[in-house]
């Protein structure tokens, strides 16, 4: 009777010891005596304790940081650049069997590709064409990681740190560019104002009465100011009348 109870306890313990739950976002790479025998799908699974072993692999998109590193651009400007690589495991068995610590390996590959791509580009291109450089890095890393059953979905350049002297030079350049644009806008405004005065002069030459109307309008505007002293000009009509009178005499 004792051995039956012992056997029953052994079976119960063995059964519960072999229970494994694989989440929906995981895949289980199963080994028996150290040999790969298959990939387990999500759900309730049972393995033989001690004999079998399961290594879970996350098949969701993973974001891995690309460590900051110093890079010399093609035009010999030292910069520090870092980024992030997004990838997911398509084949869990290959990710486990073909490479050790696949997340670290992908990060190192992305770091190397980032250094190479930035080293082949000039500083202006690195600053202005981050998306394009990221796509090139993604293509390179994706090809390298394909035998590992990994798909690289995107690579982003996060931060680009410039030397202090380069920052000052770029700030001076930006300030000079703003000053140049301001001068151009001012010159265009003066040109338009001069053109307006020229057009007004032509109109006045064709119609002298328009000048008088403008004069009366100006006097009306001045009169609205209570503290203003107004000096009226001598009427031109009266001056013409006096001139004609003297000529008749």
CATH of the domain at 98: 3.30.479.30
Q: Are residues 47 and 138 located together in one domain of the fold?
A: no
Q: Do residues 104 and 138 both lie within one domain?
A: yes
Candidate ranges 135-144, 163-172, 234-243; pick with highest mean pLDDT: 135-144
pLDDT at residue 9 greater than cutoff 80: yes
116 CB contacts (<8 Å, ≥6 apart)? 140
Task: Tell which of 146, 162, 178 closes a domain.
Answer: 162
Residue 91 pLDDT more than 60?
yes
For tokens 């298959």, what's the residue? 38
- Is residue 133 located within the same domain as residue 79? yes
Q: Are residues 244 and 186 in the same domain?
A: yes
Query: Quick check: 119 and 133 in contact, CB under 8 A?
Result: no
Model pLDDT, residue 109: 92
**Shortest CA distance to 141 belongs to which of 83, 100, 91, 60?**
83
Instruction: Indicate the number of domains in the chain.
Output: 3
pLDDT tens per residue, range 24-45 = 999 999 999 989 999 999 999 8
Burial 107-130 (b: 16+ CB within 10 A, else e): bebbbbbbbebbeebebebbeeeb
Cβ contacts of 92 within 8 Å, gap of 6 or more: 27, 28, 29, 39, 57, 59, 149
Range with the poorest average pLDDT among 108-117, 120-129, 183-192, 220-229: 220-229
Are residues 44 and 100 located together in one domain of the fold?
A: no
Handedness of CA 159, 160, 164, 167 (dihedral sign): negative
Residues 154 and 189 in one domain: no
248 SS3 class: helix
pLDDT at 16: 84
3-class secondary structure per residue, 115-137: HHHHHCCCHHHHHHCHHHHHHHH
Angle made by CA atoms 31, 33, 34, in degrees to the nearest 5: 55
Q: Clarify whether residues 40 and 131 are in a common domain.
A: no
Distance CA 148, CA 187 (A): 63
Q: What are the two backbone dihedrals, phi and then psi, of residue 19, each rounded to the nearest 5 degrees?
A: -75, 135
| Calpha distance 22→40 (Å, rounded) | 8
- The string of pLDDT tens digits covering residues 186-201 is 777 777 777 776 666 6
**pLDDT band with cut points at 50, 70 and 90 for residue 1:** low
Q: Which of 162, 184, 217 is the last residue of a domain?
A: 162
How much is the average pLDDT of 119-138?
A: 87
Say yes or no: 86 and 147 in one domain: yes
Residue 89 has pLDDT above 80, yes or no: yes
Using 50, 70 and 90 to split pLDDT, how confident is the model at 245?
low
Same-domain status, 213 and 186: yes
Task: State percent of the chain over pLDDT 90.
Answer: 33
CB 20 within 8 A of CB 43: no
| pLDDT tens by residue, 204-227 | 666 666 556 666 566 666 666 665
Range of the domain at 150: 62-162
Residues 154 and 234 placed together within one structural domain of the fold: no
- Convert the pLDDT of each residue in 33-88 to its tens digit: 989 999 999 999 888 888 999 999 999 999 998 888 888 888 888 888 989 999 99
Quick one: 41 and 94 in the same domain? no
pLDDT at site 188:
79
pLDDT of residue 246: 52
Task: Give the end of a domain, one of 39, 58, 77.
Answer: 58
Task: Give pTM, 2 decimals.
Answer: 0.65
pLDDT greater than 90 at residue 151: yes
Q: Do residues 107 and 199 both lie within one domain? A: no
Question: Measured in Å, how far apart are the chain's first and last C-alpha atoms?
Answer: 160
């Amino acid at each position: 009777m004792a051995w039956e109870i012992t056997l029953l306890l052994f079976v119960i313990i063995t059964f519960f010891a072999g229970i494994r739950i694989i989440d929906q976002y995981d895949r289980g790479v199963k080994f028996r005596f150290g040999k790969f025998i298959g990939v387990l799908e999500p759900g309730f699974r049972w393995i033989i304790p001690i004999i079998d072993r399961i290594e879970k692999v996350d098949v969701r998109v993973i974001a891995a940081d690309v460590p900051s590193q110093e890079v010399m651009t093609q035009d010999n400007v030292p910069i520090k650049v870092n980024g992030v690589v997004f990838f997911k495991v398509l084949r869990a068995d290959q990710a486990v069997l073909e490479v050790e610590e696949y997340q670290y390996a992908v990060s190192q590959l992305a770091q190397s590709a980032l250094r190479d791509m930035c080293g082949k580009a000039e500083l202006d291109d690195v600053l202005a064409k981050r998306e394009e450089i990221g796509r090139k890095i993604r293509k390179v890393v994706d090809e390298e990681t394909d035998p590992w059953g990994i798909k690289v979905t995107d690579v982003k350049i996060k931060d680009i740190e410039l030397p202090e002297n380069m920052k000052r030079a770029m700030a001076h350049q930006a300030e000079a560019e703003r000053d140049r644009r301001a001068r151009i806008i001012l010159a265009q405004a003066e040109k338009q104002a001069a053109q307006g005065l020229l057009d007004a002069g032509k109109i006045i030459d064709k119609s002298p009465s328009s000048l008088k109307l403008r004069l009366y309008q100006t006097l009306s505007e001045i009169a609205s100011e209570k503290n203003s002293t107004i000096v009226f000009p001598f009427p031109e009509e009266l001056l013409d009348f006096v001139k004609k009178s003297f000529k008749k005499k």
